[in-house]
């Protein structure tokens, strides 16, 4: 890694990888995690020691490809056991041309990241010359991740006679989020990230959904300007990246976290419904609470691990956002009530 630390193991693939090294703490749901567009451009460590024990199945994919730069695991299972198993994780990674390093102490790397923050790292064969490694480590950080994962064309989902019409701004949306909205009675029109606000509003949706996505929210300047034009026109619900860009569009600021929240076991307090939720999260940036002073914005959710903001409600327009993923792919299923809250908003409540 960029701090000079080296971890040796078995590298599958001769393909070299460079990216921000992050860790995720989920004990299952590895295929959903592998296909989450919010991981675009990163080298990801699974802290759980055994990955791949129930194999892979296209049913679990959250996008049409794996957006990782590379994967690091302690042990990779090569003989999965599950009635849904249609292939090993290694086969899935090879199909997606993703290098994987196994046989390393993943918890030692995790402790280093927790102490010093996320770092640029590389996955390379042991005989790679040192000057080549240093050149890779000097690769500039990526800033175009949303452009890599957003849809390239407008498409629709759900029955034409659905009760509600929802415009979805795709910053790297997960498949099951869209499916949850359809199950709640919505007809979706999914737009590329930089679609002008005028084109989105032209379909006269009942509500607007701002999706999850990868990277630094401050990089999404065209998207933020479009959101400003949509504020107050329709009820809006945002998650993850959608949560962050909505805050920026309303005059707040975001900042990078030391190591972020990534996993399916993150505890959050809901200050509206007065309950504790276990949530699925994947983000390295957060809304800066100091920047909310004087703004008509109310904090409605907080992390129980570090007290950071996990949800916001806007007091002068019908909008609320959360930092976590409520659709449970992967993760617990107790947060779907947030979709119901959005439905009620579109119904005029």
Digit-coded pLDDT (tens) for 221-254: 999 999 999 999 999 999 999 999 999 999 999 9
- Of the candidates 176, 243, 261, 325, the residue annotated as catalytic is 325
Residue 328 pLDDT level (bands cut at 50, 70, 90): confident
Residue 203 has pLDDT above 90, yes or no: yes
Residues 208-225 as b or e (16 or more Cβ within 10 Å = b): bbbbbbbbbbbbbeebbe
List, for residues 35-45, the tens digit of each pLDDT value: 999 999 999 99
How many C-beta atoms lie closer than 10 Å to residue 82's C-beta?
Answer: 11
Q: At what angle do helices 241-249 and 221-230 cross, to 10 degrees?
A: 70
Residue 310: which H helix or E strand, with range? Answer: strand 309-314
DSSP state of 345: H
Query: Is 261 annotated as catalytic?
Result: no
Beta bridge partners of 280: 325
Q: What is the pLDDT of residue 13?
A: 85
Please name which of 143, 205, 216 lies closest in space to residue 169, comparing C-alpha atoms.
205
pLDDT tens sequence across 155-175: 999 999 999 999 999 999 999
The mean per-residue pLDDT over the stretch 7-24 comes to 92
- What average pLDDT does range 145-162 have in this prediction? 96
- The position carrying tokens 């599950």 is 82
Q: How far is CA 122 from CA 39, 70, 269, 297, 349, in A?
A: 16, 9, 37, 41, 50
* Burial zone of 206 (CB within 10 Å; 0-12 exposed, 13-18 middle, 19+ buried): buried
**CA-to-CA distance for 209 and 338, rounded, in angstroms?**
12
* 349 among known catalytic residues: no
Helix (H, G, I), strand (E, B) or coil at 322: strand
Give me the numbers of helices (H) and strands (E) for the chain, helices first please. 10, 18
Query: What residues contact 216, with CB distance under 8 A and at least 6 apart?
Result: 143, 254, 256, 285
Set 61, 240, 243, 277: catalytic member? 240
**Is the pLDDT at 14 greater than 90, yes or no?**
no
Give CA–CA dist 198/195, Å, rounded: 8
Paired sense of beta strands 186-192 and 155-157, if any: antiparallel
Delineate the domains of the chain, giving CATH numbers in brackets. Answer: 10-142 (3.50.30.20), 146-346 (3.40.50.880)
Q: How far is CA 133 from CA 8, 68, 105, 140, in A?
A: 14, 19, 21, 14
| Number of Cβ atoms within 10 Å of the Cβ of 254 | 19
Q: Which residues pair with 18 in a beta bridge?
A: 122
**pLDDT score recorded for residue 15:** 83
What is the band of 49 on the pLDDT scale with cuts at 50, 70, 90? very high
Rounded to whole angstroms, the Cα distance separating 122 from 137 reads 7
Question: How far is it, in rounded angstroms, from Cα 161 to Cα 144?
Answer: 37
CA 239, CA 326: separation in Å to the nearest integer? 8
As given in the structure block, the two tokens for residue 8 are 């040796």
Residue with tokens 């959250």: 62
User: Residue 212 above 90 pLDDT?
Assistant: yes
Average pLDDT for residues 17-32, to the nearest whole number? 94
The model's confidence at residue 349, banded by pLDDT at 50, 70 and 90, is confident
- pLDDT computed for residue 206 by the predictor: 98
């Amino acid at each position: 890694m960029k701090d000079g630390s080296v971890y040796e193991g078995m590298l599958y693939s001769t393909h070299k990888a460079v990216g921000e090294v992050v860790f995720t703490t989920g004990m299952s749901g590895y295929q959903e995690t592998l296909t989450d567009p919010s991981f675009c451009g990163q080298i990801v460590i699974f802290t759980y020691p055994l990955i791949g024990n129930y194999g892979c199945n296209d049913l679990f994919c959250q996008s049409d490809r794996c957006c990782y730069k590379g994967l690091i695991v302690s042990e990779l299972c090569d003989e999965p056991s599950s009635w849904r198993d249609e292939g090993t994780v290694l086969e899935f990674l090879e199909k997606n041309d993703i290098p994987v390093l196994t046989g390393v102490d993943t918890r030692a790397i995790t402790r280093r990241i927790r102490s010093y923050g996320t770092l640029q790292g590389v996955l390379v064969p042991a005989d790679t010359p040192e000057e080549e490694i240093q050149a890779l480590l000097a690769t500039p950080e990526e800033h175009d991740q949303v452009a890599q994962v957003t849809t390239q064309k407008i498409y629709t989902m759900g029955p034409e006679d659905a009760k509600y019409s929802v415009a979805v701004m795709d910053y790297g949306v997960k498949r099951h989020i869209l499916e949850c909205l359809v199950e709640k009675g919505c007809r979706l029109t999914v737009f590329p990230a930089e679609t002008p606000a005028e084109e989105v509003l032209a379909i006269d949706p009942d509500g607007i959904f701002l999706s999850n996505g990868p990277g630094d929210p401050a990089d999404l300047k065209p998207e933020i300007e479009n959101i400003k034009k949509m504020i107050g026109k329709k009820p809006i619900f945002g998650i993850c990246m959608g949560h962050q860009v909505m805050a920026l569009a309303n005059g707040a600021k975001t900042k990078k976290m030391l190591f972020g929240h990534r996993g399916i076991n993150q505890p959050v307090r809901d200050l509206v419904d007065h309950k504790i939720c276990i949530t699925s999260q994947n983000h390295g940036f957060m809304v800066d609470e100091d920047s909310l002073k004087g703004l008509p914005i109310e904090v409605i959710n907080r992390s129980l691990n570090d007290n950071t903001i996990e949800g916001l409600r806007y007091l002068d327009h019908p909008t609320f956002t959360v930092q976590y993923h409520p659709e449970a792919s992967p993760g617990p299923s107790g947060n779907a009530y947030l979709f119901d809250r959005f439905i009620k908003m579109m119904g005029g409540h």
